[in-house]
């Protein structure tokens, strides 16, 4: 199962954030770690598509203080998501073998 660049970095952000993987936190992680600027709606569209493919799953977390009682939708990788990320990493590593800058 192939993953696009945005899908990969979103999934990696989910993995890095663990139980705190929700839209705004994922967006911030992408900006701070990957240097990618994406909107929260773009993050959610990507996450929903990944969920439809069985690569992520979501749940509603308990409402956090300071959010006016609104609950967050948090995401996690499924076993299939971890496998897809591993496949993408191995494919990229194979492509880099034998490449050297001029």
Per-residue model confidence as pLDDT tens digits over 48-82? 999 999 999 999 987 766 656 678 899 999 999 99
Supply φ then ψ for residue 74, to 5 degrees: -105, 150
What's the confidence (pLDDT) of residue 62? 78
> What is the number of alpha carbons within 13 Å of residue 7 lying toward its C-beta?
20
Per-residue model confidence as pLDDT tens digits over 10-62? 999 999 999 999 999 999 999 999 999 999 999 999 999 999 999 999 999 87
pTM for the predicted model, two decimal places: 0.87
* Arch. (CATH architecture) of 5-61+70-93: Orthogonal Bundle (1.10)
Q: Where are the domains of the chain?
A: 5-61+70-93
């Amino acid at each position: 199962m192939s993953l696009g660049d945005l899908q990969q970095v979103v999934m990696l952000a989910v993995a890095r954030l663990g139980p705190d993987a929700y839209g705004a936190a994922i967006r911030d992680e992408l900006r701070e770690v990957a240097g990618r600027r994406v909107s929260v709606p773009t993050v959610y569209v990507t996450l929903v598509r990944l969920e439809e493919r069985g690569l992520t799953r979501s749940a509603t977390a308990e409402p956090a203080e300071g959010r006016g009682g609104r609950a967050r939708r948090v995401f996690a990788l499924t076993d299939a998501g971890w496998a897809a990320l591993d496949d993408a990493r191995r494919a990229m590593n194979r492509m880099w073998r034998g490449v050297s800058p001029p």
